[in-house]
Amino acid sequence: MSDLDGGLDEPEELQPEEGSLRLVGEGDTYGPAAWEAATAAVLRKARRLRDDAPDSEVWSVLTRTTLDGIDVPPIGQPSDLDDLRTEGRPTRAGAWDIRTPLVGDDAAAVNEAALVDLDNGATSLHLDLSRSVDLSRALRGVLLDLAPVTLERPDAGQSEALARLLEDTANDPHPGSNLSADPATAEMFGHRVADDGRTPFDSFVDTVRRAQALGVLGAVVDGTALHDRGASDAQELGWTMAVGVHYLRILVEAGFTVDEAAGLIEFRYAATDEQFPTIAKLRAARRLWARVLEASGADDVAQRQHVVTSRAMMTKQDPWVNMLRGTIAAFAAGVGGADAISVIPFDERLGQPDALGRRIARNTSSLLIEEAHVAAVSDPAGGSYAVEKLTDDLAVAGWAELGRIEADGGFGEQAATGVKERVRAVAAARDAGIADRSRPLTGVSEFPNLAEVLPERAPWGRGGVRHYGWAYEDMRAEPATEKVFLATMGPIAAHTARATFATNLFAAGGVAVEAAGPTDGVEAVTAAWSGQRVVCLAGTDAAYAEWGADLVAALRAAGAAYVVLAGKPGEKTVTDVDDSCAMGVDALGFLGRIREELSR
């Protein structure tokens, strides 16, 4: 019987014996060959696989390669777990720390935002403030024994100001606060020597020792700094390991034990909207750091991770899509076991985030924790063939990057030069994928809205970020003053597919179109043309073959200077064109040529 009054009898006769429950029938078990056959049939129908190709070729067709050269198959298999190591699996129990990011140069405004965020779901603060901001004013009323505070790439003065505030706290400060000494980022990406001639590393040991005395964290190993400049996941992993090793060496030389030094360091990683690589990266980071500590003779000191949703993936155009990007990234960070997550407000690219942007950002974590119960399980991805394999592959690639840095002498100018060169190569490869739209950016390279009115935000600049969509955004910032004439051929049903493709492609580069609409022949199209210099034919291959050549001749005779074909030119379509656009085209190169023609 139930222990509750009025309860019902437990239906014991319906309970299966332990281990006897089967969720599939005898005929519902399948092996790889069955999956290959079913998948091959779909690919052949889509003309992505030859009729005479073996079914097993589906793996090579559907496998994609990451920027780190890691092959990611379409599905995982039990064999993926053979001989894999599983160190570094997430161990966080319960909800992560909702660390709200605050930016600005007005202490009073930052303070107001901080108190609102803490009253409405945020559990800690991450401050990215101008050097002139009075930190005591910005944190007035914040209970520093309850709400941890961390700093974004501070100078020694800001770390010192936070230390003084923590010392003045009536109770012991929250152990999650961090004086956030980050000299490696300053050395890597440029810094100014302080008025007293001290460099960022000169104050590093003192800051960490001050943190130890206060019972808080002292240093940050910031992988987001490299990510913001275009680094791949493995490069971010290798870099953070190299910096972490360098910090350990400095602190141990200064008298700390390895365990003490490791316990005073927090790692900061970027989370993107590629959820599986993000999950695997955070899991791989723990595995790598565990290996570093093992080699250093330390006990098992857990790596503390603060994860920030990627600023590089954020877009200025159609900023509302940033909410989706941030949600996916925060989900991946939570599944990956992040201890603290900062969701960048969707409107940060436009300037200083407002109350709506901050509310959506903090509520993203609250909903994932309270409604989706993402934090209810310590390692939701554990045992997933695909995630475990990707974790292993990223750990190996990250360790190899660490090896390259160590071979260059470890953290220092020579290693930094090599890291920057490798990051530039990865950024160029990513740019190429964004250019041909094999790496689509919704609202930027795909489905752009030329008529959108962007929300207005107070000015706030943040440098050092190489945004993925920068090339398209530069074009959109200065829209073309002339339109392209869209020579739609035939009824709407016939031309709409290519007309829509071309319209979106032109819009991605800030170029508007003026369409002819439904037409039934050359005269109808030329009658709709109103003198535009550039024209683009949009119709079916059958229409191109039937009257495309005549239409091109008529438009040129009327004065059109540059003719584009939506599709691939050829004997069965149209040959007498100046340019063409189809799936896989170098969109940025194409748009550059179109804008040049329009400006003549």
What are the pLDDT digits (tens) for 35-73? 999 999 999 999 999 999 999 999 999 999 999 999 999
Tell me what pLDDT residue 31 has: 83
Measure the CA–CA gap between 191 and 194, rounded to whole angstroms.
9
Higher-scoring residue by pLDDT: 2, 433: 433
Tell me what pLDDT residue 119 has: 97
* Mean pLDDT in residue range 340-349: 97
pLDDT band at 26 (very low <50, low <70, confident <90, very high): confident
Tell me what pLDDT residue 323 has: 98
Chain Cα centroid distance, residue 112 = 29
pLDDT above 60 (res 2): no
pLDDT above 80 (res 513): yes
- Render pLDDT for 211-231 as a digit per residue (tens, 0 to 9): 999 999 999 999 999 999 999
Tell me what pLDDT residue 8 has: 63
Tell me what pLDDT residue 195 has: 60
Q: Which residues of 455-472 are buried (b: 16+ CB within 10 A; e: fewer)?
A: eebeeeeeeebbbbbbbb
Look at strands 484-488 and 513-515 and give their pairing. Answer: parallel
pLDDT above 70 (res 558): yes
Phi, psi of 231 (to 5 degrees): -65, 150
pLDDT above 60 (res 3): no
Tell me what pLDDT residue 24 has: 74
- Sign of the alpha-carbon dihedral angle for 63, 272, 216, 375: negative
pLDDT above 60 (res 374): yes
Identify residue 46 by its one-letter amino acid code.
A
Task: Round the average pLDDT of the chain to a whole number and report it.
Answer: 93
pLDDT band at 9 (very low <50, low <70, confident <90, very high): low
Tell me what pLDDT residue 13 has: 66
Percentage of the residues of the chain whose pLDDT score is greater than 90: 83
- Render pLDDT for 82-113 as a digit per residue (tens, 0 to 9): 888 767 789 898 999 999 999 989 999 999 99
Look at strands 562-566 and 579-581 and give their pairing. Answer: parallel
* Mean pLDDT in residue range 387-393: 94
Q: Which residues of 260-283 are buried (b: 16+ CB within 10 A; e: fewer)?
A: ebbbbbbbbbbbbbbbbbbbbbbb
Tell me what pLDDT residue 196 has: 66
Percentage of the residues of the chain whose pLDDT score is greater than 70: 96
Tell me what pLDDT residue 5 has: 58
* Mean pLDDT in residue range 408-437: 94
Tell me what pLDDT residue 7 has: 59
pLDDT above 50 (res 296): yes
> Of 196-205, 278-287, 330-339, which range is least confident?
196-205
Measure the CA–CA gap between 107 and 136, rounded to whole angstroms.
9
Look at strands 534-538 and 484-488 and give their pairing. Answer: parallel
pLDDT above 90 (res 12): no
* Mean pLDDT in residue range 579-599: 95
Question: What are the residues facing 538 on neighbouring strands?
Answer: 488
Tell me what pLDDT residue 1 has: 44
H/E run at residue 126:
strand 124-129
* Mean pLDDT in residue range 248-268: 97
* Residue 281 near residue 394, CB atoms below 8 Å: yes
- Render pLDDT for 133-160 as a digit per residue (tens, 0 to 9): 999 999 999 999 999 999 999 999 999 9
> Of 77-86, 260-269, 344-353, 539-548, which range is least confident?
77-86
pLDDT above 90 (res 122): yes
Q: How far is CA 150 from CA 121, 126, 190, 228, 306, in A?
A: 17, 5, 21, 19, 10
* Mean pLDDT in residue range 416-421: 94
Tell me what pLDDT residue 454 has: 93
- Render pLDDT for 308-333 as a digit per residue (tens, 0 to 9): 999 999 999 999 999 999 999 999 99
Q: How far is CA 364 from CA 329, 373, 442, in A?
A: 10, 12, 20
Provide the angle, in degrees to the nearest 10, between the axes of the packed helices 470-477 and 492-508.
90
* Residue whose entry in the numeric block shows the structure tokens 């009025």: 6
